[in-house]
Chain A
Amino acid sequence: MKRKTGFLPVFFVVAFLCVLILVLSLSGNLKFLSSFLEKRTAQIQGITFNIFRNLPFISGEAKIKKLQENNLELLSRVSDFEKLKRENAALSDQFQTTYPPSYELLKAEIIGAPGFIPGISLPVNFILSKGSKDSVKVGQAVVVKNNLVGKISKTSVNLSEAILINNSSFSFTARTENGAQGIIKGAGASLTFDNVLLSENIKISEIVLTKGDVNQDGIGIPADLIVGKIKSVEKNPSDLFQKAEIASFVNFVGLSTVFIYTQTK
């Protein structure tokens, strides 16, 4: 092998090119180019992710998948029931209804899962096939059959990135079926339901729902989406709060399609 000499000029040229592209990209002058290139690369990414997802040791058994789908369907009904109950209560208490805002759901294919190593870690982010041209905005909720999956953290023209509820940098307010409120924080394989008052009664197997955190533009996490089920409760009389471990019903590894709450009417 020959000894390498004179690599400095090439290094400086390529480094200059990188810095130039970075500056142009940060100032928003490369949107057209990145949009054009994204369309092509998204196709490759989608194909590779689908092949990968369908590998037998990744996708799991079809029967289990079917059962998980049925479970999600039933849980969606529980969530709808909760919503109806609240509407009813509003009607009888105030003789008027405050209609919950309705949303448009945008179907998006998962084309990438950064941070996912089979057997070692779970996906904590998804790259989705819809972007700002499809009205996707940062902060919008991502769901599967009334189950909260995550929220949009980044968008480009053709693609978007969703941060999942099990991501440690994601937290939001939630409540149990009995009304105990707290904060959900991602903790890898499970979720933590923290900051719940000691006076509140939370039980194992209780369903946890989102409390709702939507801004004036209608962007955010709507109320009554299913977060998961309480697996264990940690209650210490000397602490200020109690906390619980939550298991999500969503199998993040097996997901191929999700829905984005794009608009409040």
Chain B
Amino acid sequence: MLLFILLLLVTIFLIGITTIPLPIPLLVIYAVVFRKSWIFFLAFGLGLLLDLFLLRSLGQTGLIFILLIFLVFLYEKKFETQTLTFVFFSTFLGSFIYLVVFGYNNALVQSFVNAVIGILFFKFLWLKLDPRSETI
């Protein structure tokens, strides 16, 4: 839990600086690792924070985040989600859609960077939670 809070704080600390949507890898990882409904509330909160930081109308980023989490939860019935491949592609696609919707430049590069950050976060968190796992 301490690790969870630490990652959350790092994300909050960093989202005001850059447009790389860091909450996306964080939310995807929490969704695939914890698989709990409270992640929707976390997505809502982080979205609200990002809206405040970037002067957007409140609620729009949260809406995109919760749709992303919804899709991750839907796909966990069809795929093995606790894998690096899933985390990479879901983070990449989620970030790309987010960046295109909000009209940012370098969407591909930023999505790729975000997906790599996602893998690192996931590996870090997964090793701490389940070091014997061979899924990844």
Given the complex of chains A and B, what is the CA–CA distance between A111 and B110 in angstroms? 21
User: How does the 8 Å CB contact mask read for A13-37 relative to B, with 1 for contact and 0 for none?
Assistant: 1110111111111100010011001
- B62 to A127, Cβ gap below 8 A? no
- B19 to A114, Cβ gap below 8 A? yes
In this complex, the interface size class of chain B, counting residues with CB under 8 Å from chain A, is: 35 or more
- A4 to B59, Cβ gap below 8 A? no
Given the complex of chains A and B, what is the CA–CA distance between A38 and B20 in angstroms? 21
* Residues on A with beta carbons closer than 8 Å to the beta carbon of B116: none
- B16 to A15, Cβ gap below 8 A? no
- B105 to A17, Cβ gap below 8 A? no
Given the complex of chains A and B, what is the CA–CA distance between A17 and B113 in angstroms? 31
- A168 nearest in chain B by CB position: B105
Given the complex of chains A and B, what is the CA–CA distance between A13 and B34 in angstroms? 20
- B53 to A26, Cβ gap below 8 A? no
Determine whether A215 belongs to the interface, using a CB cutoff of 8 Å to chain B.
Answer: no
- B17 to A11, Cβ gap below 8 A? no
- A7 to B17, Cβ gap below 8 A? no
Determine whether B13 belongs to the interface, using a CB cutoff of 8 Å to chain A.
Answer: yes
| B contacts with A: majority SS | helix
- A25 to B109, Cβ gap below 8 A? no
- B20 to A117, Cβ gap below 8 A? yes
- B40 to A156, Cβ gap below 8 A? no
Determine whether B124 belongs to the interface, using a CB cutoff of 8 Å to chain A.
Answer: no
- B19 to A116, Cβ gap below 8 A? yes
* Residues on A with beta carbons closer than 8 Å to the beta carbon of B35: 1-4
Given the complex of chains A and B, what is the CA–CA distance between A49 and B15 in angstroms? 10
Given the complex of chains A and B, what is the CA–CA distance between A24 and B38 in angstroms? 24
Q: Known contacts A111-B16, A113-B17; is A18 also within 8 Å of B59 by CB?
A: yes
Given the complex of chains A and B, what is the CA–CA distance between A32 and B36 in angstroms? 33
Instruction: Name, among B17, B49, B113, the residue most crowded by chain A CB atoms within 10 Å (CB to CB).
Output: B17
Determine whether A154 belongs to the interface, using a CB cutoff of 8 Å to chain B.
Answer: yes
User: How does the 8 Å CB contact mask read for B88-120 relative to A, with 1 for contact and 0 for none?
Assistant: 000000000000000111100110010000000
Shortest CB-to-CB span from A189 to chain B, Å, is 12
Instruction: Name, among A7, A37, A52, A161, the residue most crowded by chain B CB atoms within 10 Å (CB to CB).
Output: A7
CB interface residues, A 150-180, toward B, < 8 Å = 154-156, 159-161, 167-169
- B16 to A11, Cβ gap below 8 A? no
Query: Which 3 residue pairs across A and B have the least CB separation, nearest first?
Result: A22-B59, A21-B59, A4-B35
Query: Chain B: residues with CB nearer than 8 A to chain A?
Result: 12-14, 16-20, 33-38, 40-41, 43-44, 47-49, 52-55, 57-60, 62-63, 66-67, 69-70, 73, 76, 82, 103-106, 109-110, 113
Query: Chain A: residues with CB nearer than 8 A to chain B?
Result: 1-4, 6-7, 10-11, 13-15, 17-26, 30, 33-34, 37-38, 41, 44-45, 48-49, 52, 111-117, 120-121, 124, 127, 154-156, 159-161, 167-169, 188
* 9 A-B contact pairs sorted by A residue (CB < 8 Å): A7-B40, A7-B73, A14-B62, A15-B63, A25-B57, A115-B105, A115-B106, A116-B19, A127-B53
